[in-house]
Structure 1
Amino acid sequence: MTILAIDTSNYALGVALLEENQVLGEYITNLKKNHSIRIMPAIQTLMQDCDRVPADLTKVVVAKGPGSYTGVRIGVTIAKTLAWSLKIPLVGVSSLEILAAGTGRYFDGYVSPLFDARRGQVYTGLYQYKNDELIQVEQDQLIMLNDWARYLIKMDKPILFVGNDLPIHQEEIAEALGTKAIYAAITEHNPRPSELALLGQFQSEEDVHSFVPNYIRLAEAEAKWLEANRKIFKGQD
């Protein structure tokens, strides 16, 4: 089994090749550059360096969000195209779950991966390793950080926070949770595409045609369009 993992759901861009129980190669950057231009050359370079061709692939695993609307769409579109054209399974994995997987394996507590969602909000969830299996304790969600902190203070174990947007919220987290909050090292904030491949290794495949990203919330433009048209439709009743 040779798995290609793709993550463009946030600023970090990552691709990896996992074959059986070995990571053949992994490429990660954390740059504010156009993923649509860089992702295919990254995949091609990784495949060439690992002496693999598209026909060798047996599964594609992609980060399905939440995250950047454009970034998530790019990764999912490319993953769907590859899976459809190569006639191989496609698996989608939560972008937050990838972060939790990369840091929580040897942590005796809960992991709260987070992405900034502006206006005091974060995309986050709660995870925990049990017997080397990553368990989702609380589902991925969009929530005000202060509300999330009030919930976490009731937990019976420390909480490990991870994500490149952590510095935006770390002061507020520290004020709310004190020593109950633990912070991942800066080397752990980039989601590892090899962890993405490992997570998707035995997960059920998606229907290539109906699979869509998990944005959790609508893009602002979409929300405004729906609100405007809701008023129009009401006027027609």
Structure 2
Amino acid sequence: MATILNIETSTKNCSVSIAKGNELLCLVEEADEGYAHGEKLHQFIEWCAEGANISLKDIDAICVSKGPGSYTGLRIGVSSAKGLAYGLDAKLLTINSLAILKESQINKGFDLIIPMIDARRMEVYTAIYDGEGNEISSTEAKVIDETSFEELKGKKIVFVGDGVEKCQETLAHLDATFVQMYPSAKDMIRPSEERFTQQLFEDIAYFEPYYLKDFVALKKKTDK
């Protein structure tokens, strides 16, 4: 069984877990409106190692959420994971952020699991999975309106993620459950162990986050 450090920073939640096999040893996480991942992540990793009563040198692999999600959050998480993997001579694993969200709803009696990560205005990053977690439609950026997912009427659906709240009223015509939550490193344990067993390792030097959309920086107003 592998000892894996999981890092999830694709949203406002800065989340770290350590697991051996499918057993959670420690979880440290906090949601911050200010996206203070750069200040907190390494401290959380140290606390997690202490809580798990292990040395980081005992880590076999680092698994990080690869996106989509917050540009800054993903950049911090991935760069930290790559640095740790290189420094510890550990393997690098990655998981789609939406796939992390769907893990929390597998085998709960739903026909479809639709994770949503907040983007801008009425846009979300989303994908569709069946009730057992198998992907039906791939990751996309989608603007939500009254006609969205109309073809899924009659299915028992769960929408899950931090993009759910703003879409709930618009999608109220569907037979759906809405679960507002952030992706968490505790839901990376099963898929990261599976990826390690299958040796689905990333190239530490060349891997880049899956941003899905280009980053747009807003210019600050200057006094004339």
TM-score, normalisation: structure 2 = 0.88
- The whole-number CA distance in structure 1 between the counterparts of 2:217 and 2:48 is 36
Determine the structure 1 residue equivalent to 2:209: 213
Tell me how far 1:179 sits from its aligned partner: 4.2
Determine the structure 1 residue equivalent to 2:171: 173
- The whole-number CA distance in structure 2 between the counterparts of 1:60 and 1:120 is 33
- The whole-number CA distance in structure 2 between the counterparts of 1:70 and 1:135 is 29
Tell me how far 1:153 sits from its aligned partner: 2.3
Tell me how far 1:30 sits from its aligned partner: 1.4
The change in CA–CA distance for 1:22 and 1:13 in structure 2 (over 3 A counts) is same
What amino acid is the match of 2:139? D
Tell me how far 1:191 sits from its aligned partner: 1.8
Determine the structure 2 residue equivalent to 1:183: 178
Determine the structure 2 residue equivalent to 1:125: 127
Q: Retained in 2: the 8 A contact 1:24–1:50?
A: yes
- The whole-number CA distance in structure 1 between the counterparts of 2:121 and 2:178 is 22
Tell me how far 1:170 sits from its aligned partner: 1.1
Superposed CA offset, 1:134-156 (max 9, x none): 2111111101112xx63522235
**1:192 is matched with which residue: 184, 187, 191?**
184
% same residue: 28
- The whole-number CA distance in structure 2 between the counterparts of 1:106 and 1:65 is 25
Deviation above 3 Å: which 4+ runs of structure 1? none
Alignment of 1:82-121 (within 5 A): 82-121=84-123
Question: In angstroms, what is the RMSD of aligned CA positions?
Answer: 1.8
Q: Retained in 2: the 8 A contact 1:61–1:197?
A: no
Q: Which runs of 5+ in 1 are unaligned?
A: 223-237
Q: Retained in 2: the 8 A contact 1:104–1:110?
A: no
Q: Retained in 1: the 8 A contact 2:29–2:44?
A: no
Alignment of 1:2-151 (within 5 A): 2-33=3-34, 34-130=36-132, 134-146=133-145, 150=147
What amino acid is the match of 2:134? I
Tell me how far 1:197 sits from its aligned partner: 2.7
- The whole-number CA distance in structure 2 between the counterparts of 1:8 and 1:98 is 11
Please identify which structure carries the higher helix content: 1
- The whole-number CA distance in structure 1 between the counterparts of 2:174 and 2:121 is 25
The change in CA–CA distance for 1:89 and 1:39 in structure 2 (over 3 A counts) is same
Determine the structure 2 residue equivalent to 1:158: 156
SS at match of 1:111: strand
Aligned residues: 212
The change in CA–CA distance for 1:90 and 1:152 in structure 2 (over 3 A counts) is same
What amino acid is the match of 1:159? I
Q: Retained in 1: the 8 A contact 2:111–2:155?
A: yes
- The whole-number CA distance in structure 2 between the counterparts of 1:106 and 1:21 is 19
- The whole-number CA distance in structure 2 between the counterparts of 1:20 and 1:107 is 26
What amino acid is the match of 1:11? K
- The whole-number CA distance in structure 2 between the counterparts of 1:124 and 1:190 is 14
Determine the structure 2 residue equivalent to 1:231: none
The change in CA–CA distance for 1:151 and 1:173 in structure 2 (over 3 A counts) is closer
The change in CA–CA distance for 1:90 and 1:129 in structure 2 (over 3 A counts) is farther
Q: Retained in 2: the 8 A contact 1:102–1:192?
A: no
